[in-house]
Structure 1
Amino acid sequence: MSATSRTKVAIIGSGNIGTDLMIKVLRTAQHLEMGAMVGIDPASDGLARARDLGVPTVHDGVDGLVAMPGFEDIEIVFDATSAKAHHHNAALLEPLGKRLIDLTPAAIGPYVIPAVNIDRHLDAPNVNMVTCGGQATIPVVAAISQVVPVAYAEIIASIASKSAGPGTRANIDEFTETTSAAIVEVGGAQSGKAIIILNPAEPPLMMRDTVLALVQAPNEATRRAIRASIEAIVGTVASYVPGYRLVQDVQITAIPDDQPVRTLIPGGGERPTHQVSVFLEVTGAGHYLPAYAGNLDIMTSAALQVAERIAARNHDRAALA
């Protein structure tokens, strides 16, 4: 694909996530071209970096984006603002025919986890990238669900406090709600729960994610299949997030008879026999913040995967027309 046939994109939100995504588009994208970086603070570091890199900038939000010269050439808009702001942005941009990739937990559009369902919603006008914790853990829940039903899945995402900007902090409630819903809808669990921890440790710690799943795994053959499925999908995620890895072997342990696990499972059903425990780490690529900010890296890498797939498919369709 030639540079002239690249799909122009805009990024709304000049904070940590938006800036990291802009650098990824400029350095690594095969089918995308930066058309605009949009913020609301003309003095923000993200807008300053965009200007230094020759990217057109807008400092008066989505309204300024719509009014800027060349707006009609932008096909895909990434929203890296907040869940509340995304509702306003989507209402303005969707009627204008722009494809939206939502990096907030607003959850207006269908949930997309590239390792699980990247091709399922490519025609949707607005796709939701869930959350950083969801991108890291839901593939594992889905991998377990491919082998046995998951009665309950719980994920804990621990990120460095320094990597969480104002938008992330404003979205804590939406993080838990959206991730919990996606554990069920995309991961396939009967019920799910999400917890996020902003760790203030110095020096900052790498992003760590834990998945706990309750399943029926009565024999060793089933347990081997669960481990193999998890290891395969970890490899798939690592193909677009190189810093993503298991930090230890998958643990599958019998649930003691006196453990009240039924309280976690709405509607009852057969009591799970085993708990699957998966421990993950995400090391960031360091495109904007240092390597501890794996939460930025997995979110922006996932969004980039979706945009690249949309752009490549649209180009192929145009070539065949």
Structure 2
Amino acid sequence: MSGKLKAAIIGSGNIGTDLMIKIMRMSDHLEMGAMVGIDHNSDGLARAARLGVPVTHEGIDGLRKLPNYPDIRIVFDATSAKAHLHNDAVLRADGKKVIDLTPAAVGPFTIPVINGDANLDEPNVNMVTCGGQATIPIVHAVRRATDRVIWGEIVASISSKSAGPGTRANIDEFTETTSSAIRILGGAERSKAVIILNPAEPPLIMRDTVFTLSQGGSREAIERSILDMVAAVQKYVPGYRLKQKVQFEAIGDNAPVRIPGFGPASGLKTTVFLEVEGAAHYLPAYAGNLDIMTSAAMNTADRWAAQQLRKEAA
């Protein structure tokens, strides 16, 4: 097996630019084929041009006009949920593999440590959200160590400086998509997701809090499962870590909590505090929300590209 597959990125903002640099520095099976934006003055397009990457500021129509478009096999969409609906239809009609970094949720939810290989043959895979990539592995870790997870709730706090126009325009989609994925991938029966844009100066590193209410399983088994999951995520996001020891609280039948759509519930409450420090490939280290999203997307794309290269070499 040799060579690399050409990739294009639609969206020359923070996420797209960080992803481009990751691919150029770190990818085993991908190389940049194009950077696509809609603002010819964007830093992402200027940086791409300086690095020798073909660029266009005419969106997906401009991408399709590039001479090397037929050679591009995989396209990352880092625009918005609304724009992705159009982009996906065009790209799939052209036979391109699509990695969706928006909350559009057209394709199946994908988190590398949970189902990274399950959706490789899908034409479009969705990377959930930055908060989902950081927190849903923890919900999943609790679920695999217990009989059931009645409730899964996550709070993602990111620096407002690391939230670009695309992120701000997709807040509602963020909460809806993340909450849905907590159930589908995390295994919780009920769920809630909250995002906080923190304006603090100096900017704070991404922080995430995960709450679960589970039944069955021991505290020791749950903590061991969580620690194993953290180690798995660290393989592609080195700055991912527990902020403090896993916390537990027994919720007895004499004082149950009320779960929306479920009613009174008892069990074991698990609280996990996370911190995600970015690799600072493009933005400062506090932007861990970008780093975990782009790292997960590249990890998923690299797996697919490796599979394709193996098939073509056989």
Residues 12 and 77 in structure 1, CA contact (< 8 A), matched pair in contact too: yes
Tell me which of 302, 309, 312 is aligned to 1:315.
309
Residues 156 and 196 in structure 1, CA contact (< 8 A), matched pair in contact too: yes
Matches within 5 A, 1:97-136: 97-136=95-134
**1:262 matched to which residue of 2?**
258
Q: Unpaired segments of 5 or more residues in structure 1?
A: none
1:202 partnered with 2:201: yes
Residues 151 and 191 in structure 1, CA contact (< 8 A), matched pair in contact too: yes
**2:265 matched to which residue of 1?**
271
1:73 partnered with 2:67: no
Question: Matched residues in 2 for 1:108 and 1:279: separation?
Answer: 30
1:285 partnered with 2:284: no
The alpha carbon displacement at 1:252 in A equals: 1.1
Relative to the length of structure 2, the TM-score reads 0.97
The alpha carbon displacement at 1:317 in A equals: 1.0
Question: Matched residues in 2 for 1:247 and 1:307: separation?
Answer: 29
Q: Secondary structure at the match of 1:191?
A: strand
**1:253 matched to which residue of 2?**
249
**2:170 matched to which residue of 1?**
171
Are residues 101 and 259 of structure 1, via their aligned partners in 2, closer, same or farther at CA, if it must alter by over 3 Å? farther
Superposed CA deviations along residues 187-216 of structure 1, whole A, max 9, x for unmatched, are 010011100000000000000000000012
Higher share of residues assigned strand? 2
The alpha carbon displacement at 1:271 in A equals: 2.7
Residues 103 and 303 in structure 1, CA contact (< 8 A), matched pair in contact too: yes
Relative to the length of structure 1, the TM-score reads 0.95
1:181 partnered with 2:180: yes
Question: Matched residues in 1 for 2:304 and 2:103: separation?
Answer: 21
Q: Unpaired segments of 5 or more residues in structure 2?
A: none
1:235 partnered with 2:243: no
Superposed CA deviations along residues 270-301 of structure 1, whole A, max 9, x for unmatched, are 83322100000000000111000000000000
The alpha carbon displacement at 1:147 in A equals: 1.2
**% same residue:** 64
Question: Matched residues in 2 for 1:198 and 1:258: separation?
Answer: 37
Residues 99 and 126 in structure 2, CA contact (< 8 A), matched pair in contact too: yes
**1:88 matched to which residue of 2?**
86
Residues 252 and 266 in structure 2, CA contact (< 8 A), matched pair in contact too: no
Q: Secondary structure at the match of 2:195?
A: strand
Aligned residues: 313
Question: Matched residues in 1 for 2:202 and 2:196: separation?
Answer: 16
- Once superposed, what is the RMSD of the aligned Cα atoms? 1.2
The alpha carbon displacement at 1:256 in A equals: 5.4
